[in-house]
Structure 1
Amino acid sequence: MNKVVIAGGGAAGMAAAIGAAQAGCQVVVYEKNEKLGKKIYITGKGRCNVTNSCDTEDLFSHMVSNGKFLYSAIYGFSNFDVMGLMGECGCPLKIERGNRVFPVSDKSSDVIAAMERRMKRLGVSVRYNEAVKEVVCQDGRCLGVVLEKGRKMVEAGAVIVATGGLSYPATGSTGDGYRFAEAAGHTVTELFPALVPFTCAEEDVKKLQGLSLKNVEVTVYDGKKVIWKEFGEMLFTHFGVSGPVILSASSFAAKIIKKRPLDLVIDLKPALTPEQLDARILRDFDEAKNKRFKNSLNRLFPAKLVPVMVARSGIDPEKKVNEVTAKERERLVEAAKSFHVTLTGLRGYNEAIITQGGVDVKEINPATMESKKAQGLYFAGEVLDLDGVTGGFNLQIAWSTGMLAGRSAGAHVRDRQIRMINE
């Protein structure tokens, strides 16, 4: 049978459809939503961080889970291949800070439209509002799928599961792929929300809701052990902390924070040594000799942060700045260079960009994305136990594993047909 069935029409599913169709197969995508790429629409705040333009070899250092598993997938369809495909399909791209790649239009819909155009040109059939209920495997071989509507069996030469994870369930990511995998005999590793904000204990942090800080350095400690350190941008919220460097930290903290709180230390002035910061404070104090301490920090910190810094320094807010002692300034410097936040947990899947954990990659052939449990069954994208930090790396996982799964499934179907003819 010259048919490849794909469950899921997100990034991995669309890439898989293109890969399988280019191999000459009849391809049908079953998408439970009314449109393709529903999660892509909301990524990058609606702009879609397509990939990252770093050297291809550097992609692996930005992977959190099972990066080595991705060698065949990424070198078979690299970040530059993704960028080339987008350009060919009429979606010009641009590169921003941190090598992040976005469509020139800043519209995620243009990325989806580009993929749809290529799929249509290749004759891919998309069945909207149709969910796969079951993947049918028998005697170590995948035979097809059963659809939710009418419980109709659709036979296929190969099936690709690209159903996503559990993050943003409103987009259709409800964990179907994990159920399919387990039914086929696969192990699903423990699942966590990842690239997700943290909750915190301190009430003064919650008072900073809406304050965004750029060019800060954050370090997350588990006791004395550093589990994440990065320079960049973060955001205070009504429940804790968020923003790019914080979201990436969550991927390294997810398993640990279920057991115990973690310590976040923010260096508000990473460009200055403690001595340089003290000198800067002295200059500011010299220009505001008669001001009270609580009114003297507006040039050093954002207005919303000033009352918190005053309180954390332990200096009398009513004290004149020319009366502040060197020991007191030392406490202010310490508060600025080591702003402590107790991280108590992670927000849920509704706010998580990705799911950490998934189908155990030990049971998947990394050269093809085919199941080692059932011939003709393939997995791609977030359903697998693969994830990276922010910056376009998770979409690259989806594009690369999807394309490899599609090409491999296409080759599997083609080779099987040749064998049947020869027999």
Structure 2
Amino acid sequence: MKVLVVGGGPAGMMAAIAAALNGNEVTIIEKNEKLGKKLFITGKGRCNVTNAGDMDDIRAHILSNPKFMYSAFYEYNNFDVIEFFESEGVKTKVERGNRVFPESDKSSDIIKALTKKIRELGIEVLLNTKVVDIKTRKISDEDVTDKKSCYESAFAEVSLSDKSTLKGDALIIATGGLSYPVTGSDGDGYKWAEEFGVDVVKPRPALVPVILREEDARAMQGLSLKNVNAKFTIDGKEVSSETGEMLFTHFGVSGPIILSASSLISGRIKDNTKLYIDLKPALDFDTLDKRILKDFEKYTNKNFNNSLDDLLPKKMIPVIVKRSGIDPYKKVNVITAEERQNLVNVIKNLEFTVVGLRSFDEAIITKGGINVKEVNPKTFESKKVKGLYFIGEVLDVDATTGGYNLQIAWSSGYACGINLKAW
């Protein structure tokens, strides 16, 4: 069988490898000058390959349509991914949160392993080549039975940017979403799907920084916080709460716990969408009050605005002082218990108003995409168009940070490729 894979990202490369291992003739068509361009920048260039948690944990981190991935995860799980790269000479390591990285901390090692395997399997790779048009013919059940006839007439004819054409018996769309468009993700997969009559759930940026209304958030630009809790609410109802690292920026906030939450509030932001930051989640209100009282005793003759250096980052102190309502020049030895309680409340519930999310340019992944109700979860073949397959980020499946989105790519790619039976 002649298999055409449009897109040379993680899902496309894995699908090509699996299809070739299954005896198929495979061609990858990639618009960029190299394979794995987006993979190269993932995990800040380190490539969070997968997650070493158990499958229940991995499924729990899939935010959209987790049940759709059950069969693919069973076919090719996270430990299969680790074993694949280890067998190709890439040693891996497990870090906080069961995140798996190459031991070298180089995403290029992951890409080299994949491209080496692609060469070994004789997979044709067309770089700097854009698909400009796709023509398909309907495959009936009789065609599939009459394999020789089906092979000779082909399912798809793909027109390329160099004015050449390719014919294939199976067409795999692995074009990614709309995130990081500089890497070539421009929504082509959605356009073709709609031309084929396949439903597309509106794409939105996900795992993306959050824009805040308040000016004092921007005053803390560049401030990185560890071991804080970020809670997001909509209409007063909690939507997300996670403890970890975050960062203040020139427009609002970013960092791991913010990015994960963004996928849960994407498309749902209202006027009263709030972010509450607990700067000291390990301390309850009473314990924090005692800690502050101890600091006040230490700096008993200092002004309030000079008494918080042991408790808070310097860049944050003016914001906390202003929000507490306490005169910054008031001596700490005359601050009342009620004023201290206001201070404790500000530190435990630093409140901001969410006004939006940053664009696809800064999004790690895309939320939305090919409606999975129209895709076979075992083979990833379209239920509407025989011979047409959708894998990876182009699907309406997304997850939090931690290697889970790449696992979706590996599993969907492998399951699709390995189920393409050579004729």
Separation in 2 of the partners of 1:297 and 1:260?
33
SS in 1 for 2:412: helix
TM-score by length of 2: 0.95
8 Å CA contact 1:190–1:358 kept in 2: the answer is: yes
Matched, 1:148 2:160: yes
Q: What corresponds to 1:332 in structure 2? A: 343
1:255 to 2:267 alignment: yes
Percentage of identical aligned residues: 54
Instruction: Name the Cα RMSD after superposition.
Output: 1.1
In structure 2, the residue matched to 1:103 is 102
Instruction: Give CA deviations for 1:147-167 in whole Å, capped at 9, x if unaligned.
Output: 332443311111110000000
Question: Matched residues in 1 for 2:373 and 2:163: separation?
Answer: 32
- 1:271 paired with 2:282, answer yes
Q: In 2, Cα distance between the equivalents of 1:319 and 1:140? A: 80
Amino acid in the other structure paired with 1:361: V
Equivalent in 235, 241, 249 of residue 229 of structure 1? 241
* Secondary structure at 1:54 match in 2: coil
Q: Distance in 2 between matches of 1:288 and 1:96?
A: 40
Aligned residue for 2:39?
40
Segments of structure 1 that go 5 or more residues without pairing to the other structure are: 418-423
3-state SS in 2 of match to 1:252: helix
Q: 2:84 aligns to what?
A: 85
Report matched runs for 1:258-407 at 5 Å: 259-407=270-418
Question: Is the contact between residue 135 and residue 146 of structure 1 (CA under 8 Å) also seen in structure 2?
Answer: yes
Distance 1:163 1:313 in 2: 50
User: What residue identity is the alignment partner of 1:348?
Assistant: S
Which region of structure 1 is more displaced relative to structure 2, 127-136 or 162-171? 127-136
Work out the CA distance in 2 between the residues paired with 1:85 and 1:175.
30
Q: Does 1:50 align with 2:42?
A: no
The aligned residue for residue 178 of structure 1 is: 190
Specify the SS of the correspondent of 2:296: helix
Q: Residues 297-334 of structure 1: CA distance to partner in whole angstroms, max 9, x if unpaired?
A: 00000010111110011100000000100000000000
Residues 133 and 145 in structure 1, CA contact (< 8 A), matched pair in contact too: no
User: Does the 8 Å contact 2:206/2:263 carry over to 1?
Assistant: yes
Counterpart in 2 of 1:61?
60
Aligned to 1:199: 211
Structure 2 CA distance for aligned equivalents of residues 188 and 313 of structure 1: 48
One-letter code aligned to 1:391: G
Paired residue secondary structure (1:341): strand
CA deviation after TM superposition for structure 1 residue 103, in Å: 0.7
Q: What is the one-letter code of the residue matched to 1:104?
A: E
- Quote the offset at 1:139 in angstroms: 2.6
Q: Over residues 172-198 of structure 1, what are the superposed CA-to-partner deviations in whole Å (9 max), with x where a residue is unaligned?
A: 000010111111110000110000001
**Partner of 1:278: helix, strand, or coil?**
helix
Asked if the contact 2:129–2:162 (Cα under 8 Å) also holds between the matched residues in 1, the reply is no
1:140 deviates by 4.9
Letter of the 1:307 counterpart: P
Answer yes or no: is the 8 Å Cα contact 2:201–2:371 preserved in 1: yes
Q: Distance in 1 between matches of 2:267 and 2:329?
A: 45
Bigger mean CA offset, 177-186 vs 350-359: 177-186
Q: Which runs of 4+ in 1 moved over 4 A?
A: none
Q: Secondary structure at the match of 2:29?
A: strand
**1:43–1:49 CA contact under 8 A, matched in 2:** yes
Tell me the secondary structure at the aligned position of residue 307 of structure 1.
Answer: helix
Matching residue's letter, 1:288: Y
Over residues 243-286 of structure 1, what are the superposed CA-to-partner deviations in whole Å (9 max), with x where a residue is unaligned? 000000010001101x5451000100000000000000011111
User: Could you tell me the TM-score, scaled by structure 1's length?
Assistant: 0.95
The separation in 2 between residues aligned to 1:139 and 1:146, in whole angstroms, is 15
| Structure 1 CA distance for aligned equivalents of residues 272 and 187 of structure 2 | 28
Report the AA paired with residue 115 of structure 2.
E
Please give the secondary structure, in 2, of the residue aligned with 1:396.
helix
Counterpart AA for 1:131 = K
**Matched letter for residue 254 of structure 1:** S
CA deviation profile, 1:364-397 (whole Å, cap 9, x unmatched): 0001100111111111000000000000110110
Is the partner of 2:90 in helix, strand or coil?
Answer: coil
Aligned to 2:149: none
Match of residue 239 from structure 1? 251
Partner residue of 1:421? none
Unaligned runs of at least 5 residues, structure 2: 141-153
State the alpha-carbon separation in 2 of the partners of residues 89 and 131 from structure 1. Answer: 29
The separation in 2 between residues aligned to 1:261 and 1:8, in whole angstroms, is 40
The aligned runs of 1:93-172 (5 Å cut-off) are 93-140=92-139, 143-172=155-184
Could you say what secondary structure the match of 1:64 adopts?
coil
Does the 8 Å contact 2:179/2:361 carry over to 1?
A: yes
Q: Distance in 2 between matches of 1:148 and 1:15?
A: 22
